[in-house]
Every structure is written in C-alpha cells, then in structure tokens.
Amino acid sequence: MTYKNRLDGRKIDETRKITAKAGVIKKADGSAFFKIGKTWAYAAVYGPKDFHPRFMQDPTKGVLRFTYAMMPFSGMGERVRPGPNRRAKEIGMVSGNALKKVVNLDDFPNAVVDVVVELPQADAGSRCAGICAASIALADAGIPMTDMVAAVAAGVVDDTVCLDLTYEEEHYPEFAKEKVDSEDVADIPVAVIPSTGEVTLLQMDGIMKKEQLIDAIKLAKKKCNEIAEIQKAAIHEKYKGN
C-alpha cells in the first residue's frame, strides 16, 4: 500500500460527512436532499400518474422513470453541457434499474412514477448520491417499497482500496503531493438492498485486481448498511409526531 494518507485526511474506510433530509420540495409528491461531502443531490418524485405516450404504458404494472441531470457548473472539472446527454441518460437508466428491485408498482397499471434527480454541486460519487436521494424521495411519496436502496462508491487509488473517492482522488496523479508509484485509479459505484445484501448496481471505471475488486465491494456493502440507517432517519425525522 502506497496511498496511506488520503488527501482530505480520512481513513480508507471512511466516507465524507453525510446529510439527508426528506420533504424538501413542496410541490413534489415526495422529495429528498442527500449530501455527501461536496456532492449534493436533490430528488423529486411525481406520481403515480397517467403515462404518456400511451404506447409506452404497461397494462400489468406501473413504470418507474428516472431522470438524472447535473447543473452546468456543478462539476469539479469541465463545465457540464446543459440538457440531455449520453452520460446523463446512462446514469438515469442504471439508477432506475437499481431502484426497481424494491419498488412495487403492481397496483398502478398504465401509470408512471417519475423520479427526477438534479445535482447543483458534484465532487465525485454523484450517481450514488442520486440513488440515495431518490430512495428517500420514493419513501416520502408513499410509493410501496420493500426496503431502501443505499449506494456508495469504492475504488483504488495508487494500489490502495478506499471508500468514497473525491474528484481529486479520482485524478490522483494530478493532485498527488509527491511522485506516485502507480497512476492507476479505479472507481466502483455500488448500490445495495440492506435487508438482503443484494447488489442492484455495480459499475467500474478503471482497472483493478480481482482481490481489490472483492475488497472494494465488501467495503461498500458494509457502508451501505450504515447509509440506509441515515436514509430511514431522514424519513422518521419528517414524520415524527404525526
């Protein structure tokens, strides 16, 4: 292990500070705010409602539609191009698939539940923050769910497995304080259903060894259990006393 002292002083199995709130957008059926470090995600849920165009309806159950967007100046790197783009569509698709495992829309045939996630600020881990916010927002909207879905990224920096990489760590050779032994950096977003341990999202950007991949997934799954408790606490905080 060569990367022993993280750039922001955290331990290798420590995430940035997390804040979660439910019911932050009044005109939405359900909403949430999820912040991890400098990455902020807002999620709004609308529906169930009639699905248009009609040819996309499912007569056996409702459809979950996930829209993801980063604001133009939200990123730590280059300016994000406004409007739909290939990356946003891909993240929206995999994020929606990560949530479908716990959402039950059998009682809403021909309907759609829209989940809209926007990030005004992002410092890596944006899709995981979006999934966490969306899970809280779905619960806030009263959509039938079997569990929350929690998500966090793990990765490898200079041959060391770490949890919740920042933008600087994802670009470690550029920001390292001294010459590094390895320029390899990999990032793995992981989403988990805490009650079953089922992984609903697993992607990898970069190259790592098999043993590192296994360690990274274990690290992320363990932390997802803790994140799920934060998500549930956000719901409880909104509705306590009601």
User: What is the rounded average pLDDT of the residues 213-237?
Assistant: 96
Q: What is the pLDDT confidence band of residue 1, given thresholds at 50, 70 and 90?
A: very low
DSSP summary character for residue 196: T
Nearest CA to 231 out of 17, 20, 14 is that of 20
What structural domains does the chain harbor?
Answer: 18-233 (3.30.230.70)
For the chain, the average pLDDT equals: 90
pLDDT at 241 > cutoff 90: no
Query: pLDDT per residue over 155-206, tens digit each?
Result: 998 889 999 999 988 877 655 555 555 557 889 999 999 999 999 999 998 8
**Full-model pTM:** 0.92
- What's the CA gap between 224 and 41, in Å, rounded? 17
Query: pLDDT per residue over 56-100, tens digit each?
Result: 899 999 999 999 998 877 666 666 666 678 889 999 999 999 999
Longest dimension (CA), the chain: 60
The token pair that represents 235 in the structure block = 């719901």
215-229 in b/e burial notation, b at 16+ Cβ within 10 A? ebbebbbebbeebbe
